[in-house]
Amino acid sequence: MSEPSYSHGTSSTPLLGDTVGANLDRAVAAFGDREALVDVASGRRWTYAEFGAAVDEVARGLLAKGVAKGDRVGIWAVNCPEWVLVQYATARIGVVMVNINPAYRAHELSYVLRQAGISLLVASLAHKGSDYRALVGQVRGSCPDLRETVYIGDPSWDGFVAGAGAVPPGRTAAIAAELSCDDPINIQYTSGTTGFPKGATLSHHNILNNGYWVGRTVGYTEQDRVCLPVPFYHCFGMVMGNLGATSHGACIVIPAPSFDPAATLRAVQEERCTSLYGVPTMFIAELNLPDFGSYDLSSLRTGIMAGSPCPVEVMKRVVAEMHMAEVSICYGMTETSPVSLQTRRDDDLEHRTGTVGRVLPHIEVKIVDPATGVTVPRGTPGELCTRGYSVMLGYWDEPEKTAEAVDPGRWMHTGDLATMREDGYVEIVGRIKDMIIRGGENIYPREIEEFLYGHPKIRDVQVVGVPHERYGEEVLACVIPLDPADPPTLEEVRAFCADRLAHYKAPARLRILDAFPMTVSGKVRKVELRETYGG
């Protein structure tokens, strides 16, 4: 009889009981002279001692603006040192930092400002053609809680920091002493595909421990230098990246304000980074640079790939050509701080590409029948659920939506279809909503994508279900060709599938694209592919 699809992570090392601020204080005391933060674009650097002092200065600047514990401060900015300073400064004084997607326009910005009740906003001046000052001006009248906006790289930021002088230096320590590690300190809006996004509310305990355990699993010490081209506004950057680094005394390296493959590899080379983060499309872009071979990446040993599955061929090149022999795959979601499952340093190539790892210490996972909620046997597909310290406090001010996602047993329902192997490793087979049902047959896009990556004319592929009058749905393959001048035809793709995939899984339709629509965090927007090409 097969074991149930349930696993929990055990460890003799306890969870951290610190707040984020107290944990940073420990790092400053232990690693004061070591580098904590490097911004390659501006050339600015901070040791841990300097970083701790800068965080305290920003925290006092916030207090001077009348911000108090529990108040919400928004951060709407590209990756920069100020983003990191605001992250740690808000946590130090118990203020709830609200991450705002840099791609948001006026409508989305207005919703988040109002829904979270943001009183102070810290923003970039501009990003990819968006004038942030103008956008804030458009929405200010509809956001009664917003008192003031401080712009990074503007005199308003300088004035904000200078305001720290009006607050006694010991004030932040006095506030910090009264904080609980279970206090909410972060709201991250999940990019909903329907309706407005929901604000996942996370505590010190949630995100500090998750960053710590992700970093511990890849073996971080104070010797590590972590290159972060992933956005800070997302858990990948601010939790797995920033908190993963500082909780082990490692150095945060910011290669550029937003992802640039050449700037990323330059930063790894110049700063002798030992770890590099990214979603698979980022690694693909780096590997495909015409001058990729000219970068010295020999300092790398590890890194984290997450966000979507990694094709086998890409993983082989990352390990062999980028020197990332210990690269780790992580799986999670914003609502779980984010990581629940992670591959280990010594896992083989098959586990790193065929699975998303096994459960982290102090976390439980199970796979259930979506209809009954009963745990299924290992090897059987079902919905992945997770429970433990990492599960969010709830969606901000939305108890009904919280109850829909987190059941009475405190299990977070991920919406992902998965199977658990006999060894406890988990394979993601798709989203419940992405599963294609063709004439009663369940089709998992991930399986077809992995297969089509082996086609000699295909660089990247995404598979979605589109409406079909007779079968309900049929399979559409959206392909980025290896050579745009010689893209594959539908006949070639179907011939490649013949005798190797069940006939109903072979793509019925094909679209050749230059690029996929992406979220800012690097995930392909399958819903947009369906809407655009499903007609």
CATH of the domain at 487: 3.30.300.30
Query: Does residue 180 have a pLDDT over 90?
Result: yes
Domain CATH number, residue 69: 3.40.50.980
Mean pLDDT across the stretch 292-299?
98
Point out the least confidently predicted range of 175-179, 409-413, 417-421, 468-472.
468-472
Question: Among 161, 180, 199, which residue terminates a domain?
Answer: 180
State residue 447's pLDDT score: 84
Residue 418 lies in a domain: no
State residue 194's pLDDT score: 46
Nearest Cα neighbor of 81 from 131, 27, 36, 127 is 36
Mean pLDDT across the stretch 463-485?
93
Return the beta strands (E) in 68-178 as ranges: 72-76, 96-99, 118-123, 126-127, 130-131, 148-151
Chain-centre distance for alpha carbon 507: 30
What domain count does the chain have?
2
Q: ∠ CA(122), CA(240), CA(114), 5° rounding?
A: 35
Query: Does residue 191 have a pLDDT over 80?
Result: no
State residue 520's pLDDT score: 63
Mean pLDDT across the stretch 89-94?
98
Question: Among 153, 180, 207, which residue terminates a domain?
Answer: 180
Q: What is the pTM of this model?
A: 0.88
Residue 87 lies in a domain: yes
H or E element: which one contains 467?
strand 458-468
- Place 443 in a pLDDT band, splitting at 50, 70 and 90: confident
pLDDT digits (tens, 9 = 90+) for 334-354: 999 999 999 999 999 999 999
Non-local CB neighbours of 426 within 8 Å, separated by 6+ positions: 331, 341, 355, 356, 357, 358, 365, 367, 384, 418, 419, 420
Give the domain range for residue 106. 48-180
State residue 518's pLDDT score: 87
User: How many whole angstroms separate alpha carbon 238 and alpha carbon 230?
Assistant: 9
Residue 151 lies in a domain: yes
Residue 62 lies in a domain: yes
Mean pLDDT across the stretch 81-87?
98
Question: Among 180, 195, 224, which residue terminates a domain?
Answer: 180
Non-local CB neighbours of 475 within 8 Å, separated by 6+ positions: 436, 438, 443, 448, 463, 465, 504, 505, 506, 507, 508, 509
Residue 472 lies in a domain: yes
Residue 264 lies in a domain: no
Residue 487 lies in a domain: yes
Residue 7 lies in a domain: no
Query: Does residue 43 have a pLDDT over 80?
Result: yes
Query: Does residue 193 have a pLDDT over 60?
Result: no
- Place 521 in a pLDDT band, splitting at 50, 70 and 90: low
